[in-house]
Structure 1
Amino acid sequence: MAEKVVGYPGVSNGKEVFLTGHAFRKNRLKNLRPGQSRLTNLRHMIRRFRLRPMKQVKVEVFLNGQKHHVKTNELGYFTCQVQQPYTVSGWYDYELCFEGKKGSNRAKGEYYVASDHETAVISDIDDTLLVSHSTKLLKKINLLAFRNAHTRKPIPLIKHWYNHISDLNDYEMPQDFFYVSNSEWNLYDFLKDFFQLNNIPKGVFFLRTLKKGLRDLARSGSAGSNHKEDTISWLFEFFPKKNFILVGDNGQKDLDIYHEFCTKYADRVKGVMIRKLSHVKKDHKMEMVENELKDLGIPLKFFH
């Protein structure tokens, strides 16, 4: 057994801090290196989906000189939302501790105090930044099972992602990035490493509920829940004075989801970016959304 507590990147709006994490009874994930064999990658991915969370355990959160007590849910997941005095924008540390059967388990995490810049980016990950083949089951499983952060590839023309974001923000790159993905927390360590290796802007991840079985590996990243809608709604409420650029792809339902937020928050969506996947044909519904966004005065940019 390898008991472990993990703290994910948290976020602050300058008044409150929101932190999340997991406590595990079994977590034997290790850092992978370039040149690892396909078998090693497969073994590591299997471990990701055989994590054993610790439910209903008390976790201590040390933040800004104060200690807060939280408890994990049935999937070993916890949240902590507390008041915070004004702090300059940037990344800050926090600490976690829980008492396991083998003694104290400690870990450090980071949280991001958002900038005063009025615009932030909400971006999907799979097939928007990371080649994932989310709509092609066999290719998706092959990538998940046999590749790692060193061998997975960003989208071919990722410079277009940067350029369009800058264009939509008056030719200035935003500082605040929130990555809302249908990938599960099982893949957090992989995504963190992938972003670092490919110099993708550091940000806060919002992933889906942890999975606990190998049968879930094939379904990893699939649409079918309200995770994206709920998270984006929360971000709009948590940052009531920010405008957002919404970024996704046309492989799943990103455009439909973003269309809803454009209708609801027309004055706060600065633009929408959609990556066109070559195997997905443009349909009548996409044309309709294009026209409606145009009527709302919200720019819609496509990239490859």
Structure 2
Amino acid sequence: MPILRSIHRVALRVEKLFERVLLRRSRPPLFEAYRGYAKPETLVVRGRVLTGLRRGTPREQQSTFTNFRQMLALFLTDEVAGVEVVAQGRSVRSDEEGYVTLELPRGNAPPGWQHVSVSLPDAVDVTVGAPVLIPSAEAAFGVISDIDDTMMRTGAWNGARNLWTSLTGNAATREVFPDAVALMERLHDGRNPVFYVSSSPWNLHGFLDEVLFQRAGLVAGPVFLRDYGLSETQFVTGTHGSHKGAAIDRIMAANPELGFVLIGDTGQHDAEVYAAAMKRRPGRVQRVILRGTVARRDASAEQALEDLRSAGIPADVVADYGALEL
């Protein structure tokens, strides 16, 4: 559409002006490592090149304004394009939003978390360890879980409530459901790989890592978030469903021998997304578990649940994961 393309061009100019005026680069680029994952033949290292990480030290009793200021700072990233990133003799350059994906030979690396040394030779003489998860050969299945209102209370099904919660809380006050932590421990069982998918932006990666894994003790796993940034080819991102569906496909393709348990909630069309994944990837979905976050599900969610159950896939909707039999 011509109007949308015009708005896109204006937005790009505003973003570039903002970066030149307000985010003047006075520090060398650094590499923020994301949790990577393994394919049958390769290790996938992921991260982003930025000029700095804006993170405050959260306290439970700090003011709403302080929370807002610290959360807003997470979105004022100064990403750097075209920076060479090197690991194990292979290299790639960061894209226009600073993102990096580098595939390395898997070789004989053992199962578990492997830490790949990553460097930016042209920018700064520092080496960063990038974690990559290699599933156990004894894994019986994999787990793919939503985050918002599934693992952590956000009110994502209500846009205004989710925005308020996201911008006025901090890592010390956000609530991770105890029953979710226990469920993931039971499903993981020391051998089954766990992956997380959320529509939150990549700017919140460090924040979510601290809340979910460091503070709450949730089973750690690679996280798949969304890019909300502007680029020459992108004005707005896809829908929640398209993002989540694409991430599920990527995870399943990387683990072709595993079936998956899909976990979500009833507030953001997870039933529909998981039913669609079941149709795209026959035989790969073993079970669906949803937290009931809305009092009444719409017709499309009910139909999706019926489609799953008709295909012989258990689909549980519960208020508390502690009541589930595994």
When normalised by structure 1's length, the TM-score is 0.85
* CA shift for structure 1 position 76: 0.4
* CA shift for structure 1 position 235: 1.3
Contact 1:14 1:85 (C-alpha < 8 Å) held by counterparts? no
Q: Which residues of 2 match residues 225-240 of structure 1 at below 5 A? A: 226-240=242-256
**Letter aligned with residue 315 of structure 2:** L
Contact 1:14 1:86 (C-alpha < 8 Å) held by counterparts? no
**Letter aligned with residue 132 of structure 1:** T
Q: Which residues of 2 match residues 178-217 of structure 1 at below 5 A? A: 178-195=195-212, 196-209=214-227, 211=229
Counterpart position of 1:250: 266
- Find the residue that maps to 1:7 and give its secondary structure: strand
Counterpart position of 1:32: 58
* Residues 209/105 of structure 1: CA separation in 2 closer, same or farther (3 Å cut): farther
How many residues align? The count is 286
Residue-by-residue CA offset, 1:106-161 (whole Å, 9 max, x unaligned):
42221111112130100010111111111223322221112111100123743674
Could you tell me how far apart the structure 2 residues matched to 1:190 and 1:75 are?
19
Residue-by-residue CA offset, 1:211-232 (whole Å, 9 max, x unaligned):
47xxxxxx9x994462211111
Counterpart position of 1:177: 194
- Find the residue that maps to 1:53 and give its secondary structure: coil
**1:52 equivalenced with 2:78 (yes/no):** yes
Counterpart position of 1:267: 283
**1:107 equivalenced with 2:128 (yes/no):** yes
Could you tell me how far apart the structure 1 residues matched to 2:118 and 2:182 are?
39
**Letter aligned with residue 290 of structure 2:** I
**Letter aligned with residue 203 of structure 1:** G
Counterpart position of 1:16: 42
Could you tell me how far apart the structure 2 residues matched to 1:78 and 1:48 are?
19
Contact 1:290 1:300 (C-alpha < 8 Å) held by counterparts? yes
Contact 1:15 1:86 (C-alpha < 8 Å) held by counterparts? no
Counterpart position of 1:216: none
Contact 2:35 2:222 (C-alpha < 8 Å) held by counterparts? yes
Counterpart position of 2:149: 127
Counterpart position of 1:302: 317
Contact 2:271 2:305 (C-alpha < 8 Å) held by counterparts? no
**Letter aligned with residue 204 of structure 1:** P
Q: Identify unmatched segments of 5+ residues in structure 1.
A: 213-218
* CA shift for structure 1 position 99: 4.8
Contact 1:13 1:239 (C-alpha < 8 Å) held by counterparts? yes
* Residues 202/107 of structure 1: CA separation in 2 closer, same or farther (3 Å cut): same
Could you tell me how far apart the structure 1 residues matched to 2:80 and 2:197 are?
25
**1:137 equivalenced with 2:159 (yes/no):** yes
* CA shift for structure 1 position 244: 0.3
Q: Identify unmatched segments of 5+ residues in structure 2.
A: 1-25, 231-235, 320-326
Amino-acid identity (%): 26
Contact 2:267 2:294 (C-alpha < 8 Å) held by counterparts? no
Could you tell me how far apart the structure 1 residues matched to 2:238 and 2:150 are?
14
* Residues 38/106 of structure 1: CA separation in 2 closer, same or farther (3 Å cut): farther
Residue-by-residue CA offset, 1:253-281 (whole Å, 9 max, x unaligned):
211111012223342211001111134x2
- Find the residue that maps to 2:150 and give its secondary structure: coil
Tell me how large the CA RMSD over aligned residues is. Answer: 2.6
**Letter aligned with residue 128 of structure 2:** A
Counterpart position of 2:168: 146
* Residues 58/162 of structure 1: CA separation in 2 closer, same or farther (3 Å cut): closer
Counterpart position of 1:215: none
> Per residue, is there more helix in 1 or in 2?
2
* Residues 295/136 of structure 1: CA separation in 2 closer, same or farther (3 Å cut): closer
Could you tell me how far apart the structure 2 residues matched to 1:211 and 1:27 are?
17
Contact 2:84 2:93 (C-alpha < 8 Å) held by counterparts? yes
Counterpart position of 2:100: 78
Could you tell me how far apart the structure 2 residues matched to 1:288 and 1:238 are?
29
When normalised by structure 2's length, the TM-score is 0.79
Could you tell me how far apart the structure 1 residues matched to 2:244 and 2:52 are?
28
**Letter aligned with residue 247 of structure 1:** I
Could you tell me how far apart the structure 1 residues matched to 2:93 and 2:107 are?
24
**Letter aligned with residue 34 of structure 2:** Y
Contact 1:272 1:301 (C-alpha < 8 Å) held by counterparts? yes
